[in-house]
Amino acid sequence: MESKSSNSNESKDNIVLKPNPQLPLIIIILGIILEPLSSSLWPTVIVGSFGLFLLIQSFTLRLVFTPKDLIVNQLGKELRRFPFENWISWRIFLPKLPGLLYFREKASPHLLPIIFDRINLEKQLKEKVGNLEISPDNSQN
Which residue, among 65, 140, 135, 54, has the nearest Cα to 98 in the 3D structure? 54
- How far is Cα 132 from Cα 106, in angstroms, rounded to an integer? 13
Domain residues for the domain of 27 are: 2-131
- Sign of torsion, CA 80 85 88 89? positive
Asked if pLDDT for residue 13 goes beyond 90, the answer is no
Does residue 41 belong to any structural domain of this protein?
Answer: yes
Asked if pLDDT for residue 16 goes beyond 60, the answer is yes
Strand partners, 80: 72
Does residue 12 belong to any structural domain of this protein?
Answer: yes
User: For residue range 18-70, what is the model confidence (pLDDT) as tens digits?
Assistant: 888 888 999 999 999 988 887 888 889 999 999 999 999 999 999 999 999 99
Q: Where are the beta strands (DSSP E) in the chain?
A: 2-4, 15-17, 61-65, 69-74, 77-83, 87-93, 100-105, 109-113
User: For residue range 108-141, what is the model confidence (pLDDT) as tens digits?
Assistant: 999 988 889 888 999 999 999 988 888 766 544 4
The number of domains in the chain is 1
Q: Which of 1-5, 55-59, 98-102 has the highest mean pLDDT?
A: 55-59
